[in-house]
Every structure is written in C-alpha cells, then in structure tokens.
Amino acid sequence: MQFFKSDLSGKTFPVTQKISGNAVRQCIADEIKKEHPDFNAHNLLSLEEVNHYRNLYIQNSLAKELGTLTDLEKQVVQTLQNDQLITDKLSEDKSDKLTYGQRLADKVASFGGSWTFISIFGIFLLVWMLTNIIILANRSFDPYPFILLNLILSCLAAIQAPIIMMSQNRQEQKDQNVHRTII
C-alpha cells in the first residue's frame, strides 16, 4: 500500500485518501485557511482532513445563521462527523423501551415477510400434499382437496395478519417520532 504526506498536518495517509487542494470547494478552502493561511490549490490533504473542515464549515454556518446550536443541531453535526444517519441514532435511543409484544411483533413480521419463510412454507405445503397423495395414498389423514390444510392456512393468516399490522403501526409511530424530533 502506498502512502502520501499531508501538507496540512504532516501525517501520512493511504494514497486512496489523497485529495488535491484544487478539488476542495472554496467555502471549505476558506475554512482551512483560517487555521492554515498558506493553504493553496497545490497542497495535498486527506479525505479525513477535508471531512473535518466540512464539519467545521457546517457547524460554523449553523451557528452564524441560528446563533447558538441546539442539542439536536449538535447531534446532527456529530452524526455527520461519524458518518452515521441521524435516524439510526434516534431509533437506537427508542429501541430499549419496546414491550415484549412489540419486539415479538417485529420479529414475526420480519420473518413472515422473508424469503426464508416463503421457502420453508412452500416446502411444508409440498411435503403435506405429497404425503397425503402419494405416501399415505389410501390412509391419508387429509385427502385431496386438503380441507385440514386449508384450515391450517386460514388460521395462520388470521394470526399473522394482525401481528404484521401491529408491526407496521409501530413502524409508522417510529417514523412519526423521528419526523417530529427532526422538525
């Protein structure tokens, strides 16, 4: 792996992080010049350093426009620095307050809407039908037209549908809470 030396900090970084000074936006370059007055278009710096000055620019712009930064605005700047989404941080804060029923509904909904569930259930249906038609032939416990199977499918749908709806309602509430928090 090749490295280069940053003209700003003197630290070495991987070449994949190298950015030329002429590739930096003017507003970010102005922010860099506050600390490094001799910065110019021919200097080399790292992506990490550019991101640091981008965050400073955003923070200073918000502070200039709004006066002081609220906790939410500070949180936005911090999540930008850490390359996270603000909604990830907000959903982490709320996740420990879920009831057992809510966690169960989320798990059932995520499994019930997966290809794993569809595959397993398809295999189950195929085995059920083959067992009753071919293997048990004259002694089948659920002969064609599979009335018992229809009853089981109806019961599964009757149970699964409200659980999925509960999970969707919870997701809608989470989305509304995030929207309210951001606004």
Quick: pLDDT tens for 57-113. 888 887 777 777 677 777 777 777 676 666 555 555 555 577 888 888 788 878 888
Residue 162 falls inside a structural domain: yes
Residues 102 and 79 reside in one and the same domain: no
Task: Extract the tokens encoding 86.
Answer: 């603000």
Residues 126 and 173 reside in one and the same domain: yes
How large is the average pLDDT for residues 51-60? Answer: 85
31 class by beta-carbon count within 10 Å (0-12 exposed, 13-18 middle, 19+ buried): buried
Residues 78 and 123 reside in one and the same domain: no
Residues 25 and 52 reside in one and the same domain: yes
Residues 61 and 135 reside in one and the same domain: no
DSSP state for residue 44 in the 8-state scheme: E
Q: So what's the pLDDT on residue 119?
A: 95
Q: Cβ neighbours of residue 42 under 8 Å, at least 6 residues apart?
A: 20, 21, 22
Residue 91 falls inside a structural domain: no
Number of domains composing the chain: 2
Task: Extract the tokens encoding 56.
Answer: 């400073």
Q: Cβ neighbours of residue 43 under 8 Å, at least 6 residues apart?
A: 7, 8, 20, 21
Q: So what's the pLDDT on residue 97?
A: 78
Residue 90 falls inside a structural domain: no
Mean pLDDT of all residues belonging to the chain: 83
Q: From 62, 84, 106, give the residue that closes a domain.
A: 84
What CA–CA distance (Å, rounded) separates 70 from 64? 13
Q: Which domain holds residue 74?
A: 3-84
Residue whose pair of structure tokens reads 């794993």 in the numeric block: 116
Report the predicted TM-score, pTM, of the whole model to 2 decimal places: 0.45
Q: So what's the pLDDT on residue 85?
A: 65
How large is the average pLDDT for residues 50-54? Answer: 88
